[in-house]
Amino acid sequence: MTKKGGGKPIGLNAGAIYDGSNHGWTPRLSLYGEKSGFYFRVSAATLNAKDLKPPKSQKYYHTAHRRQYHSTKLGYQWDGGDLDLALSSYRGKREI
């Protein structure tokens, strides 16, 4: 029906991304689903990154940072349209 909710009555998607330049992991998690035209998706991700380390063993100081992201979407889809409500939050912090 729609990819907004994921196309299944309920589903879970999890994963992680690694960035070698700052040794930062970004784990992420989403719970989603849809039934009878109603759909939802709840997602979260976070990053804890250390100082950047460019080639030749140099180091950039004060580049460490943390980020958190959360989002929620609820909606209803019918022939000819859909209506949804979305809420997102983003929080970042630099380590100095």
**pLDDT digit string, tens, across residues 4-39:** 555 678 999 999 988 777 777 889 999 999 999 999
Give the integer Cα–Cα distance in Å for 70 and 89. Answer: 5
CA angle 80/88/44 to nearest 5° reads: 105
- What pLDDT sits at residue 20? 77
Q: Can you spell out the DSSP letters for 31-49? A: EEEEETTEEEEEEEEEEEE
CA angle 58/68/51 to nearest 5° reads: 10
- What pLDDT sits at residue 12? 93
Residue 1 pLDDT > 50, yes or no? no
